[in-house]
Amino acid sequence: MVVSTAAFRLSRNFILVPTVPSIAFVVPVAIKGDVLRDNFLSSPGLAGFRDHEVLVQENFPSASLAFNDAIRRSGNDLIAFIHQDVILPANWPAQLSRAIGHLDQIDPNWGVLGCWGVTEDANYYGHIHSNGLGTLGRAFEQPVPVQTLDETVLILRKSSGLRFDDKLPHFHLHGSDICLEAARQGRRSYAISAFCTHNNFPYTILPREFYECYSYVKLKWVAHLPIQTSCIRITRFDFPMRWRRLQEVYLRHIRRKESFGARAQNVNALLKEVGGAMIEGPAGRSL
């Protein structure tokens, strides 16, 4: 049974601290395997929730279809949509609870939360370690309103009525789309200070499917352009997109480089490596 996210408990020193809420984690995968087992399912942070469920969504053609199916099946109100190669540290539940407790006081109608987001004028907020890009952002006190959130971690409440767009194809820009939908319903989206590690291998060359999602989001939200996402700015005349595609041609055919690196195989070593980064990292940049 889900309790109010505004609930608090008394510590032994009689200090009010947020109660760690019950939560559902939704993880889309092509097939269950080592990546899921060695990364998300090995997260120290999972032990910090008094109650949680994990819904592994296999072989869905798009993130939106996988996520909406999970929302229907979830027994929890609070739901986190997360990549299978994300690792949550032991203090992640407390960081999440602190952020929600703050929002319950200033904006109980919040829409979507995430660990990395960007404002319309391209200011990035969050705190995350990317295996390819290093540590991005730094710890901060209060959730920050943003235009869109990166898809690495997205959090919403089932009771909000927010749902992903079933027509949005593939597995790109659904974070931007759900934030724009929340805004349309009068709900703000926030980047929260909840450090996590993304054991990914970010590509310098985006796949064809990404640009199909770009076109869909642009057409759907044309009245709201420009849209700043975590990796590209969507504009009326597509100048940032065209410049990026020119860079990709150079990288593919001249530099012969398509990625920043490979996923770390030794997860324990990776966590030790990023331990100090949980305090502070460089200024924000696009993922």
15 has a pLDDT exceeding 80: no
Task: Answer yes or no: are the C-beta atoms of 70 and 164 closer than 8 Å.
Answer: no
Query: For residue 284, what pLDDT is reported?
Result: 52
Confidence band, pLDDT 50/70/90 cuts, at residue 277: low
Decide if 283 is inside a domain: no
CA distance 103 to 278: 22
Residue 167 lies in a domain: yes
With a cut of 60, say whether residue 281 has pLDDT above it: no
Look up the CATH number of the domain holding residue 90: 3.90.550.10
Tell me, yes or no, whether 76 lies in a domain: yes
pLDDT band at residue 119 using 50, 70 and 90 as cut-offs: very high
2 occurs within a structural domain: no
Full residue range of the structural domain in which residue 250 is found:
8-278
Task: Indicate the range of 82-86, 120-124, 127-131, 181-185 predicted with least confidence.
Answer: 127-131
pLDDT bucket at 44, cuts 50 / 70 / 90: very high
Confidence category of residue 6, pLDDT binned at 50, 70, 90: very low
Q: 54 in a domain, yes or no?
A: yes
The answer to whether residue 286 sits within a structural domain is no
Domain count, the chain: 1
Query: Per-residue pLDDT tens for 175-204?
Result: 999 999 999 999 999 999 999 999 987 778
